[in-house]
Structure 1
Amino acid sequence: MRADLAVIGLGHSGLPLAQAATAAGIGTIGYDPHPRTVTDLNAGRPPADGSLAAAELRRMLSCGFRATADPAPLGSARTAVICVDTPLRADRALDLGPVRTAAHTLAASLRPRTTVLLESTVYPGSTEEFVRTVLEEGSGLRAGRDFHLAYAPSRLDPGSRTYGYANIPKVIGGLTPACTEAAAAFYGRLTEKVVRARGPREAETAQLLETNYRQINIALVNEMAVFCHDIGVDVWDVIRCAETKPFGFQAFRPGPGVGGHSVPIDPNHLSYPSRALGYPLRMVELAQQVNARMPRYVSQRAAALLNEHGKSARGARVLLLGVTYKADLADQEGAPAGEIATRLRDLGAQLSYHDPYVHHWSAGGRPVPRADGLYEAAAEADLTVLLQHHRTYDLQGLAAKAQLLLDTRGASPTGAANRL
């Protein structure tokens, strides 16, 4: 099995890259150490998170894409891209173990003149001080002399109908100018614009800034939502008015919490102590705290609404709508629905859920019954809570059917529901 490109890690970022490369006519193999993932992909079964449709996967396979759990073919590829996930540990530090394992696996078969690219979320300095070391020690080759090494942060908007791989500019930062140009030559075949950073640290830090920018602004608007509710102001109307300002403002919207694969990163949690800063990024730390409080706040609002209508949370029938982290996707990574469900259950509520993309769901290790008839379930529930606004949901119709509706996304018509 020979290919020009080897994608290491067939998750939420690796598969879209493999899809874009295959569509561009680049011979591509995907390596993943999990045999079940490999078997399913080669059989045409798309991932459960909805990141790739069945028709898209069939098209990739027909164009020659193959997945493998055998690392041997990695040595034949001219370009290798590490796209493994880096989840948060209990101390909220990034777990770079998957990156280490991927780099170690690649190093065993790394050949001269290969271009190695890292797309996984890492700390500034990781490409040079961490990945480079693993690759050089495992291969006996030297980065920047025997092979090219660069960092290129993954920039994806899953489910977007506006932004795809081709029209999202790709930031790259190479260990040397030659490394940068090798990365540019590869990504130039996939995207309309390549942005050259001064080096891998700048490219890594650009991703840090982008992710933390989003988290901090979501935290700001979440805090405003709580504040506006307390003083009797419609936060959604406030945002509608504020976003008409043509400069100095970008609209973010509140919600029940923050999910997804991009996490707010505090560089104080470094994997190599020699680069520890000794102080946190205060804004990032505060944003984490504010956003982490939102599931509890939504649960409290739900209980308060029931109480205002003469019902106790204990024994109340509560229907949760939309349990994924993003609208119109099946991916549940980091979605706040699980914590909200657990908190409501602890208050004694009888839960059910509906989501057109999720057919089986558990919260806190316990299954939650799925409501098949959406409008019938909303009519029977004492409280319906919209957690994710999928396009298939008719909020006006739901508001008319539901006994009581709490809309955490501001998607319902004004006056039709209780909004966050």
Structure 2
Amino acid sequence: MQIEDTLGFDAIAARFVEQTAKRETVVGIIGLGYVGLPLLLAFHRSGFHTFGFDIDPVKIEKLEAGRSYIHHIGADAVASLVASGRSRLTTDYSLLSEVDAIVICVPTPLTRYRDPDMSFVQATAEAIAPHLKRGQLVTLESTTYPMTSEDLLATILERGSGLTAGQDFAIAYSPEREDPGNPDFDVAAIPKVVGADVAGAGDMAEALYSGVAKRVVRVPSMRTAEAVKLTENVFRAVNIALVNELKVIFERMGIDVFEVIDAAKTKPFGFMPFYPGPGIGGHCIPVDPFYLTWKAREFGIHTRFIELAGEINSAMPQWVVARLAEALSDRRGKPIRGARVLVVGLAYKRNVDDVRESPSLVLIEMLQERGAVVDYFDPFVPTMPMTRKHGELVGRDSITWDADTLAGFDAALIATDHDDIDIEMLVRHVPLVVDSRGATRRLPAELQARVVRA
């Protein structure tokens, strides 16, 4: 879309909304990971011409060959994208000048000191700026602290392009709400929150996301939209911390926390079930609360409640390993040093291949530090991929799942309860199973003697 230099921003916005309704807007997605690739496919399915950008040439090569590198995204969807002729996949950011809407879906991890690492957003903004043109919409989807879009993203784009946000180009924030592996909630089914500081920019963002989502929820500003995402995940982190603490308490009392939760959730109001585990993983819940605590310090506020939840969740791997060591000693008469331990499940949650921030990685390292000989099994992660941490685990292979192999372990630790894992077979062949997910609850009574809850 060519924009005349004399055209005002309201007219720019009106033209964008009109062309988007007719599917004439060209959409570019930057970052083709667990957020960006599903979004690219959603825009493609909705009839838009799309560009997919990523700095990793291996990803681009796989996609161009019609292959998916994310388990829950089928190769047929990727093949359809490539064969359509309506999408281009590239590492060449100069092609951003050919799109009308630029959607940023890059990582926002934490530093080793639990401060926000904005290097990916910053580098992406700097890559966009030289190619930015009048009339384009730039939206950020990466989870971040309030005021990132206005203070960091807009500043870099304006400085590098010579254009002005809200006059020459539009900027908005729309938090990703992906739930990898959940078949009930794809991009279209999840309401899309959008926020912009200029009315025309909000109109453009609302029009864009209305093209792929059944419902768009518009909020008054970018910082409000940024706060929405943090609030969602702080809520989850705090409640998971609560049930993790209850698990420890109830275990000492001889009470099964899963039975408590199952009964409590029958109440039709005032209760929402959350479930304990060996820690928390994924890109959002272990990270997002610390983005808010970091920003809150700028305003002289100490987020005691959020930080306490983080401490509880971060301590769960230590508690699980201690339970395993205690059970090995009490039930098998073996020390943890030298014991052969199988960690079952490497992904951070069931039925996905996503290992980002997975507590399983922490568990493996902690067990090894105590002298255990550790292997893992995960049907979704046959080989340990590269991560920003835990580099010494990269390249390890999942074990072969058979009776003879399982019988060679002194203990197994269920860290992720994938549906495809035969839990009964595990318990029958490994003499001690430590269950941190409640995966063994429905096994026959005669097998429960082999199981310890953690």
* Matched residue, 1:360: 383
* Structure 2 residue matching 1:269: 3-state secondary structure: helix
Letter in 2 for 1:314: R
For 2:338 and 2:397, the matched residues in 1 are separated by 15
Residue 189 (structure 1) aligned to one of 203, 206, 211? 211
Structure 1 residue 51 displacement after superposition: 5.4
Q: Say whether the 8 Å CA contact 2:381–2:398 is kept in structure 1.
A: no
* Structure 1 residue matching 2:138: 3-state secondary structure: strand
* Structure 1 residues 4-43: aligned runs within 5 Å: 4-43=26-65
Letter in 2 for 1:320: V
1:349/1:28 Cα in 2 relative to 1: closer, same or farther (>3 Å)? Answer: same
Q: Say whether the 8 Å CA contact 1:342–1:364 is kept in structure 2.
A: no
* Structure 2 residue matching 1:168: 3-state secondary structure: coil
* Structure 2 residue matching 1:203: 3-state secondary structure: helix
1:34/1:369 Cα in 2 relative to 1: closer, same or farther (>3 Å)? Answer: closer
* Matched residue, 1:293: 315
- The normalised TM-score by structure 1 is 0.94
1:390 aligns with 2:415: no
Letter in 2 for 1:94: P
Structure 1 residue 255 displacement after superposition: 0.5
1:103/1:361 Cα in 2 relative to 1: closer, same or farther (>3 Å)? Answer: closer
1:88/1:374 Cα in 2 relative to 1: closer, same or farther (>3 Å)? Answer: farther
For 1:62 and 1:84, the matched residues in 2 are separated by 26
* Matched residue, 1:52: 73
For 1:108 and 1:51, the matched residues in 2 are separated by 35
* Structure 1 residues 112-127: aligned runs within 5 Å: 112-127=134-149
Deviations 1:226-272 (A, max 9, x none): 111122211111111111111111100000111101023232424xx
Q: Say whether the 8 Å CA contact 1:406–1:418 is kept in structure 2.
A: yes
* Matched residue, 2:355: 332
Residue 98 (structure 2) aligned to one of 49, 68, 76? 76
1:351/1:288 Cα in 2 relative to 1: closer, same or farther (>3 Å)? Answer: same
Q: Which moved more, 1:325-334 or 1:408-417?
A: 408-417
Letter in 2 for 1:419: R
* Matched residue, 1:419: 453
* Structure 1 residue matching 2:208: 3-state secondary structure: helix
Structure 1 residue 159 displacement after superposition: 0.4
Q: Which moved more, 1:344-353 or 1:83-92?
A: 344-353
* Matched residue, 2:435: 407
* Matched residue, 1:314: 337
For 2:264 and 2:326, the matched residues in 1 are separated by 29
Q: Which moved more, 1:342-351 or 1:202-211?
A: 342-351
1:212 aligns with 2:234: yes
For 1:77 and 1:127, the matched residues in 2 are separated by 20
Deviations 1:53-80 (A, max 9, x none): 3222212212232221111110111111
Deviations 1:273-306 (A, max 9, x none): 9x81233311211111111111111111110111
Letter in 2 for 1:265: P
Structure 1 spans left out of the alignment, 5+ residues: none
* Matched residue, 1:88: 110
* Structure 1 residue matching 2:135: 3-state secondary structure: coil
* Matched residue, 2:294: 269
For 2:121 and 2:315, the matched residues in 1 are separated by 30
For 1:260 and 1:199, the matched residues in 2 are separated by 27
Residue 376 (structure 1) aligned to one of 404, 407, 422? 404
Q: Which moved more, 1:121-130 or 1:259-268?
A: 259-268
Q: Which moved more, 1:58-67 or 1:149-158?
A: 58-67
For 1:394 and 1:339, the matched residues in 2 are separated by 24
* Structure 1 residues 154-165: aligned runs within 5 Å: 154-165=176-187
Structure 1 residue 97 displacement after superposition: 1.4
Structure 1 residue 3 displacement after superposition: 7.5
Deviations 1:345-374 (A, max 9, x none): 222222222111122238661565632034
Structure 1 residue 402 displacement after superposition: 2.4
Deviations 1:80-114 (A, max 9, x none): 11111111111111111111111121111111111
Structure 1 residue 377 displacement after superposition: 2.8
Residue 110 (structure 1) aligned to one of 125, 129, 132? 132
For 1:323 and 1:213, the matched residues in 2 are separated by 25
Identity, % of aligned positions: 37
